[in-house]
Amino acid sequence: MAKITASVFTSHVPAIGAALDLGKTQEDYWKPLFAGYDFSKQWMKDNKPDVIFLVYNDHATAFSLEMIPTFAIGTAAQFQPADEGWGPRPVPVVQGHPDLAAHIAQSVIQQDFDLTIVNKMDVDHGLTVPLSLMCGQQDPKTGAWPCPVIPFAVNVVQYPVPSGRRCYNLGQAIRKAVESYDEDLNVHIWGTGGMSHQLQGPRAGLINKEFDNAFLDKLIHDPEAAASIPHIDYVREAGSEGIELVMWLIARGAMSDVARGATADVAGGKSPKLAHRFYHVPASNTAVGHLILENT
Ligand code: DHB
Ligand code: FE
């Protein structure tokens, strides 16, 4: 049986990808940010998954105002790094896992979540920057990511966006789907995006350390409370792009936990163990947050 053993949460700032690709990681501005991921790169080597289920958002790259799926699962065998206007990032092609992805689509749709199935999709910084942060730079031709990745794109760009509660419940459905897959696979689920940031308008540059750290606390210890945050609070407190944080609730919903509160469906088991926590301001216009949780 496949099993979700761990979850990773991280921001995906595109400037982090540029700093990596242009060899700037040791510059004074970037050094403290990348130091926060030293533990994580070693952890990835020590806890190598068979598959990563990677929740991220597309930034009007593969999708546009012409077509806006709320939840889209990548079922292809391969996903090319996208050209976001300055050429594709020099990173390896992402290998998918069509069989597990198709199984998850079947199971999750039968659990009443309507997913869009995507058989061809280029993946932007939302997916490739977390991979680079966690796995280090890989040569685009001779290197490879450590395992297949199932991209799962969430619309947090164009309103209406899904609520945190729906994302949390969806994570529980994804867990059930993974656990009903016959092959023994060690699966990690990643929630990416966030933390507080606003890229446009009079509040551009907004960062809210108090909100971000309270969100991290809730995500670790009281995910029900995190799932209850209404979408307007993300926008008010964490800025218009802070809404990306709802994606972290998909990954958290897929983890074990003592049943609490309103959601009858929360998977049982012990609360996950916190393996790593990191918070850093700023990276570009963004507060960077990062957690690793392990099922015990
Ligand atoms: C920035 C952050 C993002 O999450 C993004 O998608 C684009 C830009 C930024 O801080 O510059
Ligand atoms: Fe983003």
C-alpha 296 to ligand 1 mean position (Å): 33
First to last CA, the chain: 17
Task: State in Å: Cα 48 to ligand 1 middle.
Answer: 28
Question: Annotated catalytic sites, by residue?
Answer: 125, 197
Q: What is the pLDDT of residue 244?
A: 98
pLDDT value at residue 270:
78
| Domains by residue range for the chain, with CATH | 3-291 (3.40.830.10)
Q: Is 155 left (phi over 0), alpha (psi -120 to 50) or beta?
A: beta
Residues 241 and 28: their CA atoms lie apart, in Å, by 26
- Which ligand is nearest the CA of 84, by number? 1
Mutate to test the pocket of ligand 1, among 244, 285, 288, 290 (most ligand atoms within 8 A of CB): 285
Tens of pLDDT, residues 171-185: 999 999 999 999 999
Can you name the residues that pair with 191 across neighbouring β-strands? Answer: 9, 55
Query: Residue 258's pLDDT is what?
Result: 59
What is the pTM assigned to this prediction? Answer: 0.97
The residue type of 230 is: P
CA angle 228, 232, 236 (to 5 degrees): 115
Mean pLDDT of the residues in the chain? 95
One-letter identity of residue 280: H
Residues above pLDDT 70, as percent of the chain? 96
**pLDDT band per the 50, 70, 90 thresholds, residue 151:** very high
Instruction: Return the ligand 1 atom nearest residue 194 CA.
Output: 4
Q: Is 103 helix (H, G, I), strand (E, B) or coil?
A: helix
Query: Relative to the CA of 244, which ligand 1 atom is closest?
Result: 4
The pLDDT value recorded for residue 267 is: 65
Nearest alpha carbon, ligand 1 atom 10 = 285
**3-class SS at 52?**
strand
Residue closest via CA to ligand 1's atom 4 equals 13
Q: What is the pLDDT of residue 261?
A: 45
Give the ligand at the shortest distance from the Cα of 196: 1
Over 226-287, what HEC string results? HHCCCHHHHHHHHCHHHHHHHHHHHHHHCCCCCCCCCCCCCCCCCCCEEEEEEEEEEECCEE
* Average pLDDT of the residues in 240-251: 98
Cβ pair 193, 212 in contact under 8 A: no
117-144 pLDDT tens trace: 999 999 999 999 999 999 999 999 999 9
Q: Whose CA is nearest to atom 1 of ligand 1?
A: 13
Task: Report how far residue 290's alpha carbon sits from residue 175's, in angstroms, rounded to the nearest whole number.
Answer: 21
- Residue ranges around ligand 1 (CB below 6 Å): 12-15, 59, 197, 199, 241, 284-286
